[in-house]
Amino acid sequence: MKKSKAIKTSFILFTILIIAFGTTFIPTLQLKTKNMKVKIGRWVDVYYEKEEAAALDCFNLAEQRAKYFMDKLGIKEKTKIKIFIYDKQSTFQTKKYGLITLLFNIDWYIGDNIGSTVILTSPANPGRLHNYESIKQALPHEMVHAYEYLINPKMKEWLKEGIALYLTNGGQLKKGELQNVKIPSFEDIQTENPIKFANIGGYIFADTYIEYLDKKYGWHNVLQLLKTNSSKKTFGKTEKEIYEEWVNYIKKAY
């Protein structure tokens, strides 16, 4: 009898845990929130809540930059992407990873992509670590990620972020500053975890990796690397060899 009761109790607790876990992902099921409006453009459709002025500002920027990104990334067919802008950072943060995201207190997290769709916090409510302009300028970065998904859904994090930074808001590493920061190890740049990527200095260094490849091997080979994820197929060298070349480059350049 006691054993039967224990099994029943365990089953109930397990069921509650499953329901609680599933509930955390409810916000991810629907990107569109209640009463969202949409601004339809030639290259993008922007969905927004009440902060209309900021949304239209983002819309205009996205329309201006979209064609350049598509041409630069070799996307030949006309492709329209969707952009969802949320008035509250907390709403935005739950749309990809669910309610659990709110437990990690990642105030810097204001933009992302889900496949070829962009999600963004409204520049009108930037939070503690950002301002209107920094969030607005994060939009082109996330647009590049959306286009990258169309090129290769399994693109490596180091390459994916490197390209987005190189084409938009990179350039954090200045000449003479290399002595003050740690160069990510070869093992570090293999990470697919976005938080670890930030912690290893990815946002400081990844664009310089693309900068080196562009100067040394040409943009056409950079695009080939994005498609294949393979240094061997693209450059005839291992990824470790390319990494060592890059380290030597930044030691001289920065």
Sheet holding 37-40, edge to edge: 37-40, 44-48, 81-86, 117-121, 111-114
Task: Give percent of the chain above pLDDT 70.
Answer: 85
Q: Helix or strand or coil: residue 112?
A: strand
Give the pLDDT band of residue 17 (cuts 50, 70, 90): very low
Predicted pLDDT of residue 216: 98
Name the pTM for this structure.
Answer: 0.86
**Domain locations in the chain as residue ranges:** 1-27, 31-151, 152-254
19 has a pLDDT exceeding 50: no
12 has a pLDDT exceeding 90: no
CA distance 183 to 254: 11
Query: What's the mean per-residue pLDDT of the chain?
Result: 89
Contact 46, 39 (CB under 8 A): yes
Closest CA to 122 of 96, 97, 88, 146: 88
Structure confidence by residue, pLDDT tens digits, 236-253: 999 999 999 999 999 999
Structure confidence by residue, pLDDT tens digits, 88-110: 988 888 888 765 666 666 788 89
Question: What integer is the mean pLDDT of 70-78?
Answer: 93
Structure confidence by residue, pLDDT tens digits, 194-251: 989 999 999 999 999 999 999 999 999 999 999 999 999 999 999 999 999 999 999 9
* CATH for the 31-151 domain, from 3.80.30.20, 3.10.580.10, 3.30.2010.30, 3.40.50.720: 3.30.2010.30
User: Quick one: DSSP state of residue 123?
Assistant: T
127 has a pLDDT exceeding 90: no
Please give the residue that has the higher pLDDT: either 36 or 29: 36
Angle at alpha carbon of residue 212, lines to 158 and 236, rounded to 5°? 80
Structure confidence by residue, pLDDT tens digits, 47-69: 999 999 999 999 999 999 999 99
